[in-house]
Structure 1
Amino acid sequence: MRVLLVGSGGREHALAWAIAASPLTERLWCAPGNPGIAQHGECVPIGATDIAALVAFAREQAVDLVVPGPEAPLVAGLADACAEVGIACFGPSAAAARLEGSKAFMKEVCAAAGVPTAPSATFVDPDAAKAHVREAGAPIVVKADGLAAGKGVVVAATVAEAEAAIDAFMRDRIHGAAGATVVIEACLAGEEVSFFALCDGRNAIPFGAAQDHKRVGEGDTGPNTGGMGAYAPPPAFTPDLERQVMETIVRPTLAEMARRGAPFRGVLFCGLMLTEAGPRVLEFNVRFGDPECQVLMLRLMSDLVPAMQAACDGVLDRFAVRFLPDPAIVVVMAARGYPGTPETGSEIRGLERAAALPNVQVFHAGTRAEGGRILAAGGRVLAIGATGATLAAARDAAYAAVDAIDWPEGFCRRDIGWRALSR
């Protein structure tokens, strides 16, 4: 098969690594890609949201399968544009991608499908939103309705903090139009888990769970980020819980989306809170998580390409995927200044030394190549992955690889996996 992967981050490097390993893959392109992805396929200079150029390239190269990594091209209609010219796309239509593109829509779908989630209210007027917060009290969660690169959520410990978030989103528009509408919901207590299911519009199969570390500082302190590390499998997410989530969350959501004429195909990312009353949906995403994707790919035994094709063809009921029993962990190395304004342009040395260590895989996220050197070109720059017979062994291997990298301008958390390791 001839495959076009869309995106340029660590998630896309992990997907490229898995796709290139498939005996079905005849040729792999990535748009726009990064220096790590270039080890597995050909990078082409097309932006991830340039829908017309992506489809034109796919037609010119007789691409069999388009695999979008990030959410933005899906919300912008990449799958629809591919369908118009008869090219399979592993991802939902723009109508179905609203599950991530609009948190208010996601809440509406959950209510219609009877999917358990936190009580919430949606506002377009900041004064009304603040009045609701004052009545409900804190802690409380304020979410920008639209896409905000993973930074549109504030878990407010006080009413004043929630009101400040409302002003920042709705009046200051720190996330642009994404914050014109806000969803305010009750703050749930429990353990967070990211669960993934492959979907073909009618059928769904489990595709593993992971736990990520969203806050920038050790001990889960500081501001939220796109993710500072992840591990899988999470001990708290038992096989019984997986069956419960499939029956009470994933399948009812698929049925409701089909009823609305927007069948969901691709990967459904269920952000869950494991509460005392059972699993509750915090959010839906319409693509693999980053850095969760990296740990899923490190553990995946099955061939990824036919699994994605089965989702496109509507035959997932005949399919199953298998994972290695060994745990996996990934540690994100970020540029100084992240999650604010990262310092870019610094050179990263020792990548080959790190990648040569046993059970280690180095994924590029925000890098660029210049004159034979690898330079930092973003906030989250590298994702250092490792597997091991135990999570502790995987952690030790990952941090040994981190220490083999010479990059004074970078930093990482040193406690990835702490929740599971402290059990």
Structure 2
Amino acid sequence: MKILVIGGGGREHALCWKIAQSPLVNTLYCAPGNPGIAAVAECVHIGADEIEALCDFALAERIDLTIVGPEVPLTMGIVDRFQAAGLDIFGPNRAAAQIEGSKGFSKELMVRHNIPTAAYKSFTDHAAAVAYIREQGAPIVVKADGLAAGKGVIVAMTEAEAITAVDDIMLDRVFGAAGSSVVIEEFMEGEEASFFAFTDGTNILPLATSQDHKRIFDNDEGPNTGGMGAYSPAPVVTAALHDVIVETIVRPTIAGMASDGTPYVGILYVGLMIRDGKPRVVEYNARFGDPEAQPLLMRMKSDIVPVLQACARGELKQESIEWHDKAAVCVVMASGGYPDVLETGFEIHGLEAASAIDDLVVFHAGTALKDGVIVNSGGRVLGVTALGNTVAEAIATAYRGVAAISWPGAQFRSDIGQKALNR
């Protein structure tokens, strides 16, 4: 098979690393890729949002299956375009990708199909949004309706913080067009977890559990980011709770999307808040989480390619995925200044030393090749990911890898996985 992966971040490096192991695959491309991906796939210099150029490439190279990594091309309709050209592609079409592309769309879906989530209201009027915050009080959560690269959610502990967030989103447009509407919702207490399931629009195939760390600093302090680390499995999701999530959230979501005329195909990410053993939906994503993909794909024993192809063709009959008994932990190393003004262009030292550590893979996200050396070029730069017989062992190995790598201003959290140990 010839396979094309679209994207150039840590999630796409993990996907390429896993897909390259499949005996079914003889040629693997990634567009645009990155220096780490170049070790396992042929990188093609086409941007993830250049849909016509990507479609032309897939037709010219007779690509058997395309896998879309990031959310932006999904919400732009890349799946619709490829399918119209007769190409197999893994991911939801434009209508279904609204589950991530619009917070309002996803909240309405949950209300319609009795899926447990926080109480909310949507606003396009700034004054009405501010009045609602004053009426409800704090803590309260303010969300830009559209895509904001994982940063459009503000958990406000005071009314003043919430009103400032509404000002930033609706008046100052810090998230651009994503802020033309806001969703303001009830603050949910509890422990977060990430739940993923493959689906062909009808059948579902759940993955192992995972948990990510959104905040920039230790102890979940500082602003939200795209994710500073993740681990799998997540002990907060017990076997019994796993079944509850599938039956009360995942199945009703997929069935609801189908009955609404927007069948959902691909991988569904459900961000959960769990309190007293009861799960509620925080958000949906229309693709693999990043950094959750890194530990999940390192733990996956089964060949991922037949599952991806079965989803794309509406033929998902597989009952389960085989997983390594080991735990996996991913620690994200980010540029100085992240998530605000980035300090980039520095040579990254120690990549070879870290990669030589057993049971450890360094997934590249924001890296580039400059004058023959690898430099940091984005916010989240590397996902240092390790396996271990226990979560504690995986944490220790991952941080050994982190200790081997350096560049000026590099930052990372030192407490990834601690919630699992505390259980």
TM-score, normalising length: structure 1: 0.99
Displacement of 1:51 in angstroms is 0.6
Q: Which runs of 5+ in 2 are unaligned?
A: none
TM-score, normalising length: structure 2: 0.99
When the two chains are superposed, the root-mean-square deviation of aligned CA atoms in Å is 0.9
Displacement of 1:277 in angstroms is 6.5
Give distance in 1, aligned partners of 2:238 and 2:277.
Answer: 15
Q: What aligned pairs does 1:333-372 form with structure 2 within 5 A after superposition?
A: 333-372=333-372
Give distance in 1, aligned partners of 2:406 and 2:381.
Answer: 13
Q: Which runs of 5+ in 1 are unaligned?
A: none
Find out whether 1:220 has 2:220 as its counterpart: yes
- Number of the residue aligned with 1:48: 48
Displacement of 1:420 in angstroms is 1.1
- Of all paired residues, the percent bearing the same amino acid is 53
Find out whether 1:326 has 2:320 as its counterpart: no
Displacement of 1:209 in angstroms is 1.8
Displacement of 1:113 in angstroms is 1.0
Give distance in 1, aligned partners of 2:135 and 2:370.
Answer: 55
Find out whether 1:303 has 2:300 as its counterpart: no
Report SS of the residue matched to 1:219.
helix
Find out whether 1:113 has 2:85 as its counterpart: no
Displacement of 1:316 in angstroms is 1.8
Give distance in 1, aligned partners of 2:186 and 2:219.
Answer: 23
Give distance in 2, aligned partners of 1:254 and 1:383.
Answer: 31
- Number of the residue aligned with 1:236: 236
- 1:213 maps to amino acid: H
Give distance in 2, aligned partners of 1:328 and 1:318.
Answer: 24
Give distance in 2, aligned partners of 1:411 and 1:155.
Answer: 23
Give distance in 1, aligned partners of 2:14 and 2:327.
Answer: 16
Give distance in 2, aligned partners of 1:202 and 1:54.
Answer: 28
1:3/1:319 CA distance change after superposition, 3 Å: farther
| Number of residue pairs matched by the alignment | 423
Displacement of 1:319 in angstroms is 4.1
- 2:146 maps to amino acid: G
- 2:285 maps to amino acid: N
Report SS of the residue matched to 1:416.
coil
Give distance in 1, aligned partners of 2:75 and 2:31.
Answer: 17
Displacement of 1:310 in angstroms is 1.2
- Number of the residue aligned with 1:132: 132
- Number of the residue aligned with 1:289: 289
Displacement of 1:320 in angstroms is 2.2
- 1:108 maps to amino acid: E
- Number of the residue aligned with 2:418: 418
Q: Deviation digits for residues 159-188 of structure 1, max 9, x if unmatched?
A: 111001001100111111101100000001
Give distance in 2, aligned partners of 1:408 and 1:369.
Answer: 17
Q: After TM superposition, what 4+ stretches of structure 1 lie above 6 angstroms from structure 2? A: none
Give distance in 2, aligned partners of 1:69 and 1:53.
Answer: 17
- Number of the residue aligned with 1:96: 96
Find out whether 1:165 has 2:152 as its counterpart: no
Report SS of the residue matched to 1:347.
coil
Displacement of 1:371 in angstroms is 2.8
- Number of the residue aligned with 1:186: 186
Give distance in 2, aligned partners of 1:87 and 1:98.
Answer: 22
Question: Do the aligned residues in 1 keep the contact of 2:307 with 2:318 (CA within 8 Å)?
Answer: no
Displacement of 1:318 in angstroms is 3.4
Question: Do the aligned residues in 2 keep the contact of 1:310 with 1:319 (CA within 8 Å)?
Answer: no
